């Protein structure tokens, strides 16, 4: 991998990214990566502190003549979403990422890349390591567990940072200045199953939905991409009356903030019906491919040998399938104030069957908190009607846009000086940590920038190498202006 990043600029940023990519850092198991960040700060002779949950704060004084300028905190999260293709042999708890370059883009082989938000972390470290950027006091705040619970941002202590400004480095489009984001809340719903042995003479099969793009449950929720869990439920509902299969388990999705790319149902079917079942499944695949069209052309369905010991009762199977058909997924409402912005949505993200229980996880987002909670109440009502218990977890607030803030005007002006065009100022339908941090630091001016990256939260995640160079130019020029 060392040769992979040769001739890339800025070298310090890419060198840090190469090293970080060798360290496993899935959400909630990113302690080694956070320690690595702290070690880099200490190696530079800077002041380093770490809080009880593992967040790291590194301080660098202003350069000569700028010691008394207003301070700025650069902020990024060290954890990454761990998604891989089913046929990829990769252990996210111990294996380094296998980076590969395709033209101007950087990928990982068969897995997520972790540019979200490793690029931000490494940009911050590169600023701390620099000796040729004239800047005021700089703090680098690197948080943990952003992707699965915003644990780090939730536990940032008031008065820890000293800066007037905060620049989040977790955006994913060059030339865009993010000044607001949606809040979110998870719904976890469960049902205890009644299990029994399958009927005599039936054989275990696995019905699989796969080949979908998936994507970020906020950024991509209005992209028209298929949800493997929803498609599986509808296929089961169509085929069950004809074939009378017994349902053993449903599993699908990996992260509540990623649109599910794959889902499987484990079922028992009369072997004499296998050929007919496959023929009907092929029809379903054709219909669904036509429905999704160019939005998600890779959809595929298969029936293969499966493995299971018990089946759920017919009543359980009916309740599970019906609930999956009723639960929302996708855009609920568009913003009445910002054209093209999703205001409220839900991602039907994960389903699993284990220990005699079925569990479903949904993530609802909204830039308007009452809409977020109203949607959660509707989900809870549907769950209760289907005999499921549900509760809310991990709620976090949105970030209110402040378009007239001085940091917004400053970054916009620097962008125009460097590239001859202003920033596109926007709010996004995704979660950033600014909302939570802003609650602890009222009055702190905040904005977010980043390079072009695509298909985050999927194994197709990739980042534009030239865009990272432009991101770095903007970041360093902003630091010199403050």
Known catalytic residues are: 79, 146
Q: Which of 115, 144, 129, 148 has its CA nearest to residue 20?
A: 115
Beta bridge partners of 111: 84
CA distances, 11 to each of 7, 122, 129, 462 (Å)? 8, 11, 11, 19
Residue with the two structure tokens 């599910």: 260
Q: 62, 128 in Cβ contact below 8 A?
A: no
Entry field: residues in the chain: 482
Rounded Cα gap, residues 93 and 95, in angstroms = 6
Cα-to-chain-centroid distance, residue 31: 19
C-alpha separations of 361 from 153, 245, 258, 286, 342 in Å: 22, 25, 11, 28, 21
> CA 168, CA 161: separation in Å to the nearest integer?
14
Residue closest to 121 by CA, chosen among 209, 208, 25: 25
Cβ-based neighbours of 110, under 8 Å, separated by 6 or more = 84, 85, 87, 88, 90, 98, 459
Query: Rg of the Cα trace of the chain?
Result: 24
Following DSSP, what letter does each residue of 412-444 receive, concatenated?
HHHHHHHHSS--EEEEESS--THHHHHHHSTT-
Judge whether 135 and 416 are in contact, CB under 8 Å: no
Q: Is 354 exposed, middle or buried (0-12, 13-18, 19+ CB in 10 A)?
A: exposed
């Amino acid at each position: 991998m060392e040769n992979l990043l040769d001739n890339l600029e800025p070298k310090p940023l890419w060198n840090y990214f190469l090293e970080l990519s060798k360290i496993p850092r899935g959400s909630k198991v990113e302690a080694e990566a956070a320690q690595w960040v702290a070690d880099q700060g200490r190696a530079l002779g800077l002041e380093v502190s770490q809080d009880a949950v593992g967040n790291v704060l590194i301080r660098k004084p202003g350069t000569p003549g700028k010691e008394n300028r207003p301070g700025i905190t650069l902020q990024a999260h060290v954890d990454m979403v761990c998604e891989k293709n089913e046929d990829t042999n990769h252990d996210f708890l111990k294996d380094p990422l296998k980076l590969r370059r395709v033209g101007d883009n950087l990928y990982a082989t068969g897995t997520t890349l972790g540019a979200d938000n490793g690029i931000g972390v490494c940009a911050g470290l590169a600023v701390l390591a620099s000796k040729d950027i004239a800047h005021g006091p700089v703090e680098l705040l690197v948080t943990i567990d952003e992707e699965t619970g915003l644990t780090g941002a939730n536990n940032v202590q008031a008065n820890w940072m000293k800066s007037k400004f905060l620049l989040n480095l977790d955006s994913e489009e060059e030339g865009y200045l993010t000044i607001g984001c949606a809040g979110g809340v998870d719904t976890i719903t469960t049902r205890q199953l009644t299990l029994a042995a399958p009927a005599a003479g039936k054989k275990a099969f696995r019905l699989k939905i796969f080949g979908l793009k998936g994507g970020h449950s906020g950024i991509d929720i209005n992209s028209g991409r298929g949800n493997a869990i929803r498609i599986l439920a509808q296929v089961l509902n169509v085929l069950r009356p004809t074939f009378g299969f017994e349902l053993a388990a449903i599993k699908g999705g990996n992260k509540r903030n990623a649109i599910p790319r794959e889902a499987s149902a484990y079922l028992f079917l009369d072997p004499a019906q296998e050929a007919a079942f496959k023929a009907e499944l092929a029809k379903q695949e054709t219909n669904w491919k036509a429905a999704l069209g160019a939005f998600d052309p890779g959809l595929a369905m298969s029936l293969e040998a499966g493995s299971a010991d018990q089946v759920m009762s017919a009543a359980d199977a009916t309740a599970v399938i019906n609930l999956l058909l009723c639960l929302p997924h996708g855009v609920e409402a568009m913003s009445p104030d910002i054209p093209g912005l999703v205001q409220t949505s839900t991602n039907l993200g994960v389903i699993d069957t284990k220990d005699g229980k079925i569990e479903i996880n949904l993530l609802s987002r909204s830039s308007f908190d009452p809409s977020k909670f109203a949607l959660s109440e509707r989900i809870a009502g549907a769950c209760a009607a289907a005999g499921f218990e549900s509760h809310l977890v991990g709620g976090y607030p949105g970030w209110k846009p402040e378009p007239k803030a001085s940091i917004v005007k400053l970054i916009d002006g620097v962008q125009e000086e460097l590239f001859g065009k202003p920033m596109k100022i926007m709010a996004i339908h995704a979660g950033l940590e600014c909302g939570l941090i802003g609650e602890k630091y009222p009055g702190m001016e905040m904005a977010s920038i980043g390079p072009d990256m695509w298909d985050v939260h999927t194994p197709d995640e990739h980042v534009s190498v030239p865009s990272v160079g432009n991101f770095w130019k903007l970041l360093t020029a902003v630091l010199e202006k403050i």
